[in-house]
Chains A and B, each alone.
Chain A
Amino acid sequence: MDTYHWLLTLHITAAFFFVGGSVSAGVLNAIAVRAERPSETAALLRLVRRVLPVIFIGVAGTLVFGIWLWNCAGYSIGTAWIWISLALWVVASALGGVGGRHQEHARELAERLAAEGDVSNDELKTILADRKGNAVSWAAGVATLAILALMIGKP
């Protein structure tokens, strides 16, 4: 394989880690939200943390190998779809971080309730069903999807 295909392979692998890891976290989070007992919710949200390294490798790898590939593939410095993708990468990363903090808050409360008798309360239910907190994570997903569309469509 030549340098270009090596970089493309690493870039696509990073993208699989980024998107796949995010999907994985999203699926586990969705199951955690529907769990009956706070101990289950807390354990599943702890499991989400184990997937985070996959997402972090993907986020860093897409940027590093993407920029390297940009140079190697000979795209001009003014290529609009790449700049838009970079902006969306920043947005997706920032929103993902905010969504992650929301999940952490829910996990901490669930762990506290699990230790105090393992019965859910209104506060936990409100946090888990919080539209604003969940909307941030969904928005991060939409930004990631938009990056994927730009990379494939190259408008």
Chain B
Amino acid sequence: MIVATYNGPFWPLFLHVLGAMVLFGAVLAALAASVAGFRSAAFRSLLVAVPAWVLMRGGAAWVYSNGYSAVKNQTWLSLGMAIADGGLIVLLLAIGTAYWSQRTSSTLATRIAAGLSGVYLLLLAVAWLAMAGKWG
């Protein structure tokens, strides 16, 4: 992946991108497991997403403090930050329903967990598309 417009230190962006990719992978595993009816696997996959979210968000804050605060009004940056922060609610709801699904074997809970995982994947895709294309 060629990331050509960033001139700051290596580690903040590396950790941010790595966290985002692991987050995407963990939620993708949870979606696949939920759809296939593997309740425990879906819940455990979503637990992997939590440290990945911390890495992604911590890296973002570190990048931001290294010069990107000057362009905070750009659409791609505000959209990315809104999805990073607001998306946490969706992720936590997905974890909660996946736990409920695992404990009760409820079909409704499994469907909600799958739906929330799918929504979160879409949000992540919008964030990376906006940030890669430097929208606005």
User: Is the pair A43, B133 in contact by a Cβ cutoff of 8 Å?
Assistant: no
- How many residues of B are in contact with the other chain, CB < 8 A? 34
- In the complex, which residues of chain A have a beta carbon less than 8 angstroms from the beta carbon of B128? 12-13, 16
User: Is the pair B129, A24 in contact by a Cβ cutoff of 8 Å?
Assistant: no
- How many residues of A are in contact with the other chain, CB < 8 A? 42
Give the number of A-B contacts (CB < 8 Å). Answer: 124
- In the complex, which residues of chain B have a beta carbon less than 8 angstroms from the beta carbon of A107? none
- Interface residue? A20 (CB, 8 A): yes
A8-B4, A66-B2 known; A47-B32 Cβ under 8 A? yes
Q: Which listed residue, B24, B33, B44, touches A16 by the CB 8 Å rule?
A: B24
Interface-side segment among A98-106, A113-121, A126-134, A145-153? A145-153
User: Is the pair B21, A47 in contact by a Cβ cutoff of 8 Å?
Assistant: no
Main secondary structure of the interface of B (DSSP, over half): helix
User: Is the pair A73, B4 in contact by a Cβ cutoff of 8 Å?
Assistant: yes
Shortest beta-carbon distance from A76 to chain B in Å: 14
Main secondary structure of the interface of A (DSSP, over half): helix
User: Is the pair B26, A43 in contact by a Cβ cutoff of 8 Å?
Assistant: no
A47-B32, A66-B1 known; A19-B25 Cβ under 8 A? yes
Q: Which listed residue, B4, B25, B41, touches A20 by the CB 8 Å rule?
A: B25
Shortest beta-carbon distance from A92 to chain B in Å: 13
- Interface residue? B29 (CB, 8 A): yes
What are the interface flags for A59-83 relative to B under an 8 Å C-beta threshold, 1 for contact and 0 otherwise? 0001000100110010000000010
Q: Which residue numbers of B lie inside 8 Å of A, CB to CB?
A: 1-4, 6, 10, 13-14, 17-18, 20-22, 24-26, 28-29, 32-33, 36, 38, 40-41, 44-45, 48, 125, 128-129, 132-135
Further contacts, 8 of them, CB under 8 A, given A27-B48, A50-B32, A149-B10: A13-B132, A16-B20, A16-B128, A24-B25, A70-B2, A73-B4, A152-B13, A153-B14
Show 6 residue pairs from A and B whose CB-CB distance is below 8 angstroms, ordered by the A residue. Answer: A9-B129, A20-B22, A23-B25, A27-B25, A28-B41, A47-B32
